[in-house]
Amino acid sequence: MQLAKPVGRNAAALKYDILSALTIYALSGDKHRQRSVLRVISLITTRYNWRNNELSIGREEISRLWSVNERTVKREMARFRALGWVTVKRPAARGRVAVYEIDLKQIMIDTQEVWPIIGSDFQARMSEDSEPVTNVVPFAAKPPGPEINTPEAKPEDVWSQVQSILHGRDPELWASWFQHLSESERAGGRVILVAPSRFMADYIAQKWTARLLAAYSRVDPSIRTVHVNAAD
């Protein structure tokens, strides 16, 4: 999927498209989905900085916007992180609220089922088959995905399915980082992954743990934590 950054001349149209997809996705679900997605929309429309992809807000302020207590905020934000919709960019510190990032691309992927309801023009705009018109020649082809359809890879192989999800979401990121990981342990809601170097393990743990957890949650909802260790 090609999703431009919502800034510049076409920013307003893209923002409306994202909010439209979220709204119709909410309305197509039960009351729990409707309330949850409405909470996301409220954060986007009241506090989200589209240009910097930053949501700078504290738990107390969120609870006031949502008319709920802070326990509900904590639970709901954890759910959004597990979905991959929200990640923590900078944790809260003394005198400073947390700063979050909203993954608009993941949101659009998850709302794809309702695109036909919005209309064929919307579906065509957002479809991964609609490549943007450009005169830039790409330097490299799209990285091939993980080979999960080999005789060695069984359909029930959770790690293979997670790798496939990670590749589908961002092939370049997968090729640079995630394809080098291996799963060493998965039990009791915890997963331990192994990276070939300490640098890679530390970098992935710092930057991409939430994305790994979100991918695992789609395959095995019992997974609650993901740790990345170095092979050495």
pLDDT at 20: 94
Enumerate the domain spans of the chain. 11-110, 158-230
pLDDT of residue 82: 81
Q: Give a three-class secondary structure readout of 29-97.
A: CCHHHHHHHHHHHHHHHHHEECCCCEEECCHHHHHHHHCCCHHHHHHHHHHHHHHCCEEEEECCECCEC
What's the rounded Cα separation, in Å, for the pair 69 and 95? 21
Buried b (16+ CB within 10 A) or exposed e, 54-71: bbbbebeebbeebeeeee
- pLDDT score of 59: 92
User: Residue 185: what pLDDT?
Assistant: 92
pLDDT of residue 51: 87
CA dihedral 79, 84, 86, 87 (to 10 degrees): 110
What integer pLDDT is reported at residue 151 of this predicted model?
Answer: 38
Q: Which CATH number fits domain 11-110: 3.10.180.10, 3.30.950.10, 1.20.120.1200, 1.10.10.10?
A: 1.10.10.10
Look at domain 158-230 and name its CATH class. alpha beta
pLDDT at 108: 87
The mean pLDDT values, 10 residues at a time, for the chain of 232 residues are: 57 87 94 95 94 91 96 92 85 87 87 90 70 41 50 63 88 87 92 90 85 88 90 76
**What is the distance between the alpha carbons of residues 25 and 205, in angstroms, rounded to a whole number?**
31
